[in-house]
A and B are shown apart, each in its own frame.
Chain A
Amino acid sequence: MSAFPVELKGVSTRFGRQWVHKGIDLAVPAGEVVALVGGSGSGKTTLLRQMVGLLTPDEGELRVFGEPLFSGSRQMQLARRRRFGMLFQHGALFSAFNVFDNIAFPLREFGVVDEGLLRDLVLLKLAMVELEPEVARRMPAELSGGMVKRVALARALALEPELLLLDEPTAGLDPDLSAAFVALIRSLHQALGLTVILVTHDLDTLAALATRVAVLSAGRILAFGTLDDIMNVQDPFIERFFHGIRSQAALARGQGAG
């Protein structure tokens, strides 16, 4: 595996006339949990969507596993895509499939044909996200918000990805559920040796999960380092984001949990 699963060099993006990103340089080291933070509208999710190829940057270069995302033959592109999994903010489960088929879908597409093995694989993924086997029969519409996220995570993990991208993993979960979900991602990260990139607003999640933090502001990466490094950077945005009274309390809670 390359040392940097995701590398961005001078990535710039604009919507209409407005530049969202102006030359972003970022190299995500393998095995780390990197959190992208920034004010709303700073283009965090845009950046994440560019990494999986849903959007293309207007300028600059984006490498995934050491190669540009859209390079090589169709087969190679497909193989590259199957090395990462993405958890969408609202789960993006296929509402016409039940939970079992949602998780089995990428495996079937990949070519797993043995139904017995497929069943075991799906149940194993469900167990990994701490869900009961009975959940497999339910439709996405019958799941609670926390369960949707877990099933979506199981689906993202179906193809044994090396890189996991999480868009607001704890948004819309109550503090209890969100702490449990964070613990789940942490244990999976340790067990599977994944590289994780997440976008979050939630400082609790950030403090408990991230080993590195990248701060996006005014279209650039303002700072990239461990949370302690970031806290020592003198900058008005970081000041406001991390040093408010509420933020301090959240960080203390998160680090205590970690």
Chain B
Amino acid sequence: MTQSIRPLPAIRIDAGGDGVQVLLSGDWTLRLLCPLPPDIQQQLDLAPSDAGWSLAGVTRLDSFGALLLWRRWGRRRPLQLDLPVALEPVLARAEALPADALPLEPGYRFLDGTAQLGRGVYAIARHVLGFVILVGHIVIGLGGLLRQRERWPLREISANFYKVGVRAMPVTALVGFLIGVVMSYLSALQLRAFGADVFIVNILGLGIIRELGPVLVSVLVAGRSGSAMTAQLGVMRVTEEIDALTAMGISRHVRLVLPKVVALTLAMPLLTLWGSAVAIFGGMVSANLQLDLSFDFFLNALPRAVPAANLVIGLSKGAVFGLLIALVACYFGLRVRPNTESLSANTTASVVASITVVILVDAVFAIATRSFGLPYR
């Protein structure tokens, strides 16, 4: 290594006739002094405060070495200092540094906690306001589009539909199938104990079509497509693509947000239908294996156990959830500021917020539709 031929830093304390002299030699550089060799640390500590310092033997001095010595000297030159001319500018730079240029930030106090809580409340209010403004912009954009039919961003809608709908089918099917199997298996264990085998059709049919299908698909879509929307808009923000659109006089709400919202609102009911169907199929297979219920019986019993209103409720839930997920995702995507931290924070917030909103709205749905579609009351 070429590095190893550099002279190592050394220090010698010399108690001669005219006071103590500290003699330094070798390279006083970051590379050789970090971590500080213990013998050098020891000698530095030992040197008395009135010692004379000689840097005549120092072959190289960088700003790390200079600062180390400067701090050791208590931020002033020793009375006796033998400094080669070549090293003068290095020390001068350390010397020019103000001692208290950057005071430490104050620590965390009780009042800061209160302020943080207040900021949290304000933040929620700002989110609600921002969300309303986003919806307003979209409505205004829609109003404009109603007058100019030819400006509908149909190609974008179609591309988004493919991305959030068609490409999500495999994962929805896989998760749906497995959930169907698990639900059917666990219910079957209980139902057999009561001899109520046939009610498996009611449990699966109602549970999946009305409740589990839409919520399950929403959670999947929020994690898969919602996060992708936020990240995409966020990166477009970081790379100033959104600003470029605005400069061309193209509305970001019409060209970027609207296609995503429309596509997901249209795709979600279909995905819900698909996911629920596969889940019921999974349950049917499991019931067939465990309870010996034939496919024929299951399919015949299903329409009787589950009134058609439930399908309407399930699919409308899907559409509403899709609309909300897309709006929340776009809202957080447009809030991204141009740095990596903000991108990750907003993507996380987008997924968490959209899943929370979906579950809240699901509760509202449950109360509002309590008088529809339930066969035994």
Whether A141 pairs with B64 at a CB distance below 8 angstroms is no
Interface 9-mer from B28-36, B205-213, B327-335: B28-36
Complex Cα gap A141–B35 (Å): 33
Nearest chain A residue, comparing its CB with the CB of B98? A133
B114 beta carbon closer than 8 Å to chain A: no
Contact of B97 among A82, A94, A116, A124 (CB under 8 A): A124
Residues of A in contact, count (CB < 8 Å): 39
Binding site secondary structure of chain A: helix
B3 beta carbon closer than 8 Å to chain A: yes
Nearest chain A residue, comparing its CB with the CB of B99? A120
A252 CB contacts on chain B under 8 angstroms: none
Complex Cα gap A1–B1 (Å): 10
A52 beta carbon closer than 8 Å to chain B: no
A117 CB contacts on chain B under 8 angstroms: 67-68, 71
Closest Cβ of chain B: how far from A79's Cβ, in Å?
7
Whether A110 pairs with B96 at a CB distance below 8 angstroms is no
Contact of B2 among A1, A94, A96, A139 (CB under 8 A): A1
Closest Cβ of chain B: how far from A211's Cβ, in Å?
20
Contact of A160 among B63, B68, B70, B89 (CB under 8 A): B63
- Kindly supply a per-residue 1/0 record for chain A positions 123-153, scoring 1 wherever the CB is within 8 Å of any chain B CB and 0 otherwise: 1110110000110110111000000000000
A 67-119 contacts with B by CB, 8 A: 67, 72, 76, 79, 82-83, 94-96, 100, 110-113, 116-117, 119
A 44-78 contacts with B by CB, 8 A: 65-67, 72, 76
Nearest chain A residue, comparing its CB with the CB of B29? A160
A137 CB contacts on chain B under 8 angstroms: 102
A245 beta carbon closer than 8 Å to chain B: no
B192 beta carbon closer than 8 Å to chain A: no
Contact of B34 among A1, A67, A111, A125 (CB under 8 A): A111
Complex Cα gap A120–B71 (Å): 9
Whether B339 pairs with A140 at a CB distance below 8 angstroms is yes
- Kindly supply a per-residue 1/0 record for chain B positions 1-40, scoring 1 wherever the CB is within 8 Å of any chain A CB and 0 otherwise: 1110000000000000000000000000111001100000
Binding site secondary structure of chain B: helix
B62 beta carbon closer than 8 Å to chain A: yes
Complex Cα gap A92–B35 (Å): 28
Whether B89 pairs with A110 at a CB distance below 8 angstroms is no
B34 CB contacts on chain A under 8 angstroms: 110-112
A218 beta carbon closer than 8 Å to chain B: no
Complex Cα gap A160–B67 (Å): 13
B 67-92 contacts with A by CB, 8 A: 67-68, 70-71, 89-90
Nearest chain B residue, comparing its CB with the CB of A191? B89
Whether A76 pairs with B67 at a CB distance below 8 angstroms is no
Whether B102 pairs with A127 at a CB distance below 8 angstroms is no
Whether B339 pairs with A65 at a CB distance below 8 angstroms is no
Complex Cα gap A119–B101 (Å): 10
Contact of A119 among B62, B89, B102 (CB under 8 A): B102
A184 beta carbon closer than 8 Å to chain B: no
Complex Cα gap A113–B2 (Å): 27
A121 beta carbon closer than 8 Å to chain B: yes
Whether A96 pairs with B340 at a CB distance below 8 angstroms is yes
A2 beta carbon closer than 8 Å to chain B: yes
Given A1-B2, A141-B339, A120 contacting B97 (CB threshold 8 A): yes
Given A110-B34, A160-B30, A141 contacting B337 (CB threshold 8 A): yes
B338 beta carbon closer than 8 Å to chain A: yes
Given A117-B68, A124-B63, A133-B98, A76 contacting B1 (CB threshold 8 A): yes
Complex Cα gap A83–B2 (Å): 11
A159 beta carbon closer than 8 Å to chain B: yes
Given A124-B93, A136-B102, A79 contacting B3 (CB threshold 8 A): yes
Complex Cα gap A95–B102 (Å): 21
Whether A95 pairs with B3 at a CB distance below 8 angstroms is no
Complex Cα gap A192–B65 (Å): 13
B341 beta carbon closer than 8 Å to chain A: yes
Closest Cβ of chain B: how far from A208's Cβ, in Å?
21
Nearest chain B residue, comparing its CB with the CB of A132? B101
Complex Cα gap A134–B105 (Å): 12
Whether B64 pairs with A160 at a CB distance below 8 angstroms is yes
Whether A111 pairs with B35 at a CB distance below 8 angstroms is yes
B305 beta carbon closer than 8 Å to chain A: no
Whether A121 pairs with B2 at a CB distance below 8 angstroms is no
B338 CB contacts on chain A under 8 angstroms: 95, 141
Whether B67 pairs with A65 at a CB distance below 8 angstroms is no
B94 beta carbon closer than 8 Å to chain A: yes
A125 CB contacts on chain B under 8 angstroms: 63
Closest Cβ of chain B: how far from A159's Cβ, in Å?
6
Closest Cβ of chain A: how far from B2's Cβ, in Å?
5
9 additional contacts, CB 8 Å, given A83-B3, A120-B94, A139-B339? A65-B2, A79-B31, A95-B339, A95-B340, A100-B102, A120-B97, A123-B98, A133-B98, A192-B62
Q: 10 nearest interchain CB pairs?
A: A95-B339, A96-B341, A133-B101, A160-B62, A160-B30, A95-B340, A133-B102, A120-B67, A141-B339, A96-B340
26 pairs from A and B in contact (CB 8 Å cutoff): A65-B2, A66-B2, A67-B1, A72-B1, A83-B3, A95-B339, A95-B340, A100-B102, A110-B34, A117-B67, A120-B67, A120-B94, A121-B67, A123-B97, A123-B98, A123-B101, A123-B102, A124-B67, A124-B93, A124-B94, A127-B96, A128-B63, A133-B98, A137-B102, A141-B338, A160-B29
Instruction: Enumerate chain A interface residues (CB-CB to B < 8 A).
Output: 1-2, 65-67, 72, 76, 79, 82-83, 94-96, 100, 110-113, 116-117, 119-121, 123-125, 127-128, 133-134, 136-137, 139-141, 159-160, 191-192
